[in-house]
Amino acid sequence: MSRADRFTGKSVIVTGAAQGIGRGVALAVAAEGGQVLAVDRSVVVDEVVAEIVAAGGSAASFQADLETFAGASAMVSEAVTRFGRVDVLINNVGGTIWAKPFEHYEEAQIEAEIRRSLFPTLWSCRAALPVMIRQQGGTIVNVSSVATRGVHRVPYSAAKGGVNALTASIAMEATRHGIRVNATAPGGTEAPPRRIPRNAAQPSPDEVSWYQGVVDQTIDSSLMHRYGTVDEQVAPILFFASDESSYITGSVLPVGGGDLG
């Protein structure tokens, strides 16, 4: 099988597929022959599927709130109904909602950050595992972050630390069923402006300064002293999702220009 056909005949769920890295992953998997279920809670995901189909690929969209187990279960059921199986699950939902020193976070904001950046991956893995166990095979790729060591994002850092832990622990349990579980940990990534912002509120002067602190720390921590591109994040995700990584499981790969998190 050539590199361009790594996902031919495979059913692939991509979450957070409407924008950014998730969109790039969905387009790339489809271009390599995969049947893609592009999942997001935004209707924008329909445009991604339309782009895939226009290019001759195979894809369907599904809207779900993956912060709930019901949403994750519905997503997996949709993939099985459409494609008959789930070969690959790529968990891409998550992202900082607020950037501020920890003492400035409100209780509700802390809970919202954890719900946003931990639970979609946790629930999606839980929903997909019974299907993959019945198949006696499957691949899960979680998208974590090098921000497990980072300023002004403590709740997000904690959530992504949880993603790293569940990646390792599920891998230990699932290997006997032929299931591999790995994660990439992106660093700062240049992406087009979000069409659906995580936080639509106008930032205060303090919030602007605090976010600049995140940017400065990200660049300073990276040996390359720059942000990455979406394509530079997509490539290692596809490697873990493909059979090229058949002897790797339970691993978290930093993709942050030398920032190890």
**Active-site residue, 156 included:** yes
Structure tokens at 1: 């099988």
Is residue 100 assigned to a domain?
yes
Q: How far apart (Å, rounded) are the C-alpha atoms in residues 78 and 128?
A: 11
Q: Using one digit for the tens of pLDDT, what is the confidence trace for 102-157?
A: 999 999 999 999 999 999 999 999 999 999 999 999 999 999 999 999 999 999 99
What's 203's DSSP letter? P
Q: Using one digit for the tens of pLDDT, what is the confidence trace for 178-198?
A: 999 999 999 999 988 767 767
Residues in Cβ contact with 43 at an 8 Å cutoff, skipping those fewer than 6 apart: 63
Structure tokens at 223: 């040996």
Question: What residue ranges in 9-137 does DSSP mark as E strands?
Answer: 11-15, 35-40, 58-63, 88-91
Is residue 39 assigned to a domain?
yes
Q: Is the pLDDT of residue 2 over 60?
A: no
Of 105, 156, 227, 247, the catalytic one is: 156
Taking the model in full, what pTM does it have?
A: 0.95
Identify the domain containing residue 68 by its residue range. Answer: 3-255
The amino acid sitting at 194 is R
Q: Are 36 and 30 in contact (CB under 8 A)?
A: yes
Is residue 260 assigned to a domain?
no
Nearest to residue 32, comparing CAs of 52, 47, 17? 52
Render 13-43 in DSSP notation, one character per residue: EEESTTSHHHHHHHHHHHHTT-EEEEEESST
How many domains does the chain divide into? 1
Q: Which residue has the tokens 């579980």?
A: 181
Proportion of the chain above pLDDT 90, given as a percent = 93
Q: How far apart (Å, rounded) are the C-alpha atoms in residues 47 and 34?
A: 18
CATH of residue 147's domain is 3.40.50.720
